[in-house]
Each structure stands twice: as C-alpha cells, then as structure tokens.
A and B are shown apart, each in its own frame.
Chain A
C-alpha cells in the first residue's frame, strides 16, 4: 500500500501544478475585461423591461414554420433549438428578411423572416466568410495567450476575411525582434488553437458605447486608437465579441460556438514591413476547416502548404482606415 502511495503522490502534485498553470493563463487583464463585459451585458438585459412578443417566420428545412419569440431576448439560436439538434448544430449564421446577416447569439429586435445558413449550400459564400472571420478572431485569442509573460504582446487587427487568399490572418505586435518561428513553435500554436476550440465556448456579441470599449481596451494602444474611428462609422457604438476569456472588436457576425472549427493548423508567422510604432508587427496565418467537412490528409496538406505563403490581405499602416471595421450588419452580396 505504501509503495502504491509513493507512486500516486507525485501524480497528485503534478495535477495541482497543472491547475495552477491553467489558472495563471487567464491573465488579470482578460479578467478585468470580462468583468466590464459581463456588467454591461447584465445591464443591457435588465433594460429590456416588459417582455413583448415578435413573430419569426422560419423558412427552410425541415418545414416552414412560425415562432412567437420574445423581443430583444430570443436569438436565432433559440429558434434553431425548436427545429432539432441537427439544424441547431449546423447553423452558422442567420439571414433576416433575405438580406441581413445576423449573429446566431444576438437577440432579435423585430418580427422578421428567418433563414439559417450552413456550409453545404449551393453557394455558401456568406457562411464561409463568417467561418474565416471567426478563425481570425480565435487566432488572436490563442496568440495573445500563448507567449510567456515577459513578452509584450498587443493585438492589432485582421483584414476583411477572404477565403481565396488561402489563409486567415491576425496582425499582432510582439516585443520580439526578428523572430522566425520553428516548426515546433507553430505546432504548439496549432495545439493551443485546437484546445481553445475544444472548450466549446459560445461566442457572445454585445453592442457597447465608445466609452466602455475604450475602458476595455485601455491597455491596448492599437485598439484604443482604432475605436474612435470605428465608432464614428457606427453611430458611436462598438460591436464586441467574446469567446471564453477573450474579447475583441469586429463587425461580425461570427460562428455561434467555437466547436464548429474542426481541423486547424497555424501555418506561418511572418514579420511585416510597416511604419507602426512600438515594435514589430507579425502576421499570424493559419488554415482551418469546419468540423462537418472531412478531407483526406493529402489534400489538407496541399492547403497547409498554400497557407504558408504570405497572405495578400492589406498590411496595416500607421495611417489609414481599418478593413475590418464599422457596422455590425454585413450585407449579402
């Protein structure tokens, strides 16, 4: 029995250590941001007041139907729950009245015609774009958490998602000069990405005032510089997205949950040639596929190889506007 205990004891210590490590990865900064976000979310929920009903006409499989939902409380995701597990899990983004793309977890404000998009339509361009944007967003979350504490890291921005460019991108400022990632380092980043997705964080969305956004991003010089510009295009509101402990600005929409992302590789990190002050900007690139699409490893290898080339997306500069900016509502082409 004693010998058994000897074997078990070191294991126990190990688990405690790993818990500590887990806890330490949630930095104080993200805890502070999440607190502000939660307070604002609660405030907005309470301000709904008396519950009113709206009529949502669903069009699509398995059959057209009409739902009576709660105004400013019910989301497209709630409607999808009525339609069964399969529809709920495959829906990527909602299409309101045939023209407005709407985040799945964002409350509906008026009666509308609802369609739910997924990856296997004849023309899934909108769903693909949402998927690619979410991958960029999660890449930012992973990268900001993956480095050691003594390395200063600030997320800058990501260009408008374009699947044809062969990879999704996040431009990040790191306090390292001339860093060229080894294969093992890229592998670690990919693994962190997979772990993040496996936690199945629902992606929440919140429209906040400029002041609150500035408070949330007060320690990020790039974001706080971008916020006034974005707010000017969006009637003084900033759209925030939150997955787990990570918060970012984007016009959206995004996936309803990180578990949509299946196969993932962070393919390359390339130093960019820009005039932004404060340190060198690196372009993080990756490729991913939705969980529902199965592809053999050879074909996926070809996609990975392509993802290693420098992405053609706009390179950020000290002056000029953002690509991934202003309004929350993106229109279908």
Chain B
C-alpha cells in the first residue's frame, strides 16, 4: 500500500473537533457562516481573550487551533499556510503577529493553544449560553483562582505532609531490603525519627503562638 497516512497530512489538534459543523444559518449561506467565523478568529488573534456565545466560541476555536498549528508546522515560507492566514485574518497586520509572536510562543506546547471556559449569563436576561475564549499565555490576569502554587493553602500543606509520610515509608522499605535480616529494628528506628521530627515542629508552633 503506497497510500500516505491520512493522520499525518494535517496537524493533530489538542482539542476536540466536532463531527458535525454548526450551520449558523444566514442569508449568504455557507460563505456567510465563514465570514462570521473569520471575524471571530481575527478578533481572537488580535485581543487574545473574547466573551462570546458558546456555539460561536466552540466553532471558532477549531479554526484558530488549526491556523496556529499550521503556522508552527510549516512556518511563513509555506505558500498554502500563508494563503490560509491571509483568508482567516481580516486585518492583515495580524499575519505578522501569527508567525512572529504566536508561533514562537506555542512552539513547545503539548497542550491546546486556546482555552474555552463557560461563562455566567445575566439573569434575568437572554438565555444564550456564554463562553470565554482565550489564547494561552495571554498577558491578562488569570480567570480561575490559582490553587496550586501557594504552598500555604490548607490542602497543599496536607498534601505535602502526605508526601513526606509516603517517602519515609518507602525509604524504610528500601532500608529493610538492603539490611535483609534486621528488618523490624530498622522499621522502628525510621518511624521514631519521623515522629521526633514532626513533634519538634509542633513544639515550635506552640512556642511561637504563646510567646507574644
């Protein structure tokens, strides 16, 4: 079989591609649909974060992902990619942004280049579902609270302690394997050490709280 592998002909996207495209019915037919999406994709590349109705955001996301991945894959010397960029970006100065800013930014990403979040809708008001579509690595403040990087949050403290306990257990097992016969003695010693270290922490904590 001398057939090219189809999966390698197009860039593999990191987002879900809908099996059936949305129609976005309008008087101009399919061309009008693409005009709408071009407008959204251009705005996304320009502003990096948009609030949209959910269907439009979901649909435009697929085209934006494909455009960026092609720009990374083929670069700005590839004729077809340049034509696609010319078609999808209504404002032509954004072609430069696509190849010179976004392609280097996403070069080493192994996750999607865009992010889609469901947004609240005004109540009472129109019942359309809302969404926020953004390019990753944008300069705006984050939309979601950051629960992972702060080590002082209560769940992070607890997870850190769980990690320490797990490691102590593993070290004890390894030590037991090495020493062979002296298994129970070693286990006891390691446990004691662990308890001592943690109780000393407690004492420090107590004394600091009482001292003032």
Contacts and interface: CB of A to CB of B under 8 A. Distances in A.
A122 B152 contact: yes
Given A166-B161, A312-B195, A312-B199, A333 B208 contact: yes
Contacts of B178: none
B183 interface: no
Given A165-B198, A303-B162, A160 B205 contact: yes
Interface in B167-212: 195, 198-199, 201-202, 205-206, 208-209, 212
Contacts of A295: 155
Interface size class, chain A: 35 or more
Interface in A141-164: 159-160, 162-164
B209 A333 contact: yes
B interface SS class: helix
A305 B158 CA distance: 11
A125 B152 contact: yes
A293 B158 contact: no
B153 A124 contact: yes
A2 interface: no
A295 B148 CA distance: 11
B159 A303 contact: yes
A290 B147 CA distance: 13
A113 B174 CA distance: 55
A123 B159 CA distance: 17
A312 B158 contact: no
A313 interface: yes
A306 B158 contact: yes
A123 B201 contact: no
Nearest to A314: B202
Contact of A312 (B152, B162, B198, B208): B198
B114 to A, nearest CB: 24
B1 interface: no
A120 interface: yes
A196 interface: no
B145 A289 contact: no
A163 B209 contact: no
Contacts of B152: 121-125, 128
A302 interface: yes
Interface size class, chain B: 20 to 34
A131 interface: yes
Given A293-B154, A293-B155, A312 B202 contact: yes
A67 B154 CA distance: 32
Contact of A164 (B155, B166, B205, B212): B205
A330 interface: yes
Contacts of A119: 153-154
Contact of B161 (A123, A124, A293, A306): A306
A235 B15 CA distance: 66
Interface string A291-333: 0011100010011011001001110000000010000001101
A43 B13 CA distance: 71
Nearest to B200: A312
A309 B164 CA distance: 13
B90 to A, nearest CB: 40
Contacts of A160: 202, 205-206, 209
Interface in B4-27: none
A293 B158 CA distance: 13
Nearest to A125: B152
B84 interface: no
A291 to B, nearest CB: 12
A330 B208 CA distance: 11
Q: Indicate the member of B152, B159, B208, B212 with the most A CB atoms within 10 Å.
A: B152
27 contacts: A119-B153, A120-B153, A124-B154, A128-B157, A159-B202, A160-B206, A162-B202, A163-B157, A163-B158, A166-B165, A287-B158, A293-B153, A293-B155, A294-B147, A295-B155, A299-B155, A299-B159, A303-B155, A305-B162, A306-B162, A306-B165, A309-B165, A312-B198, A313-B202, A314-B202, A323-B206, A330-B209
Interface of A: 99, 119-125, 128, 131, 159-160, 162-166, 287, 289-290, 293-295, 299, 302-303, 305-306, 309, 312-314, 323, 330-331, 333
Instruction: List 3 tightest A-B contacts by C-beta distance, closest first.
Output: A306-B162, A331-B212, A312-B198
Interface of B: 145, 147, 150, 152-155, 157-159, 161-162, 165-166, 195, 198-199, 201-202, 205-206, 208-209, 212
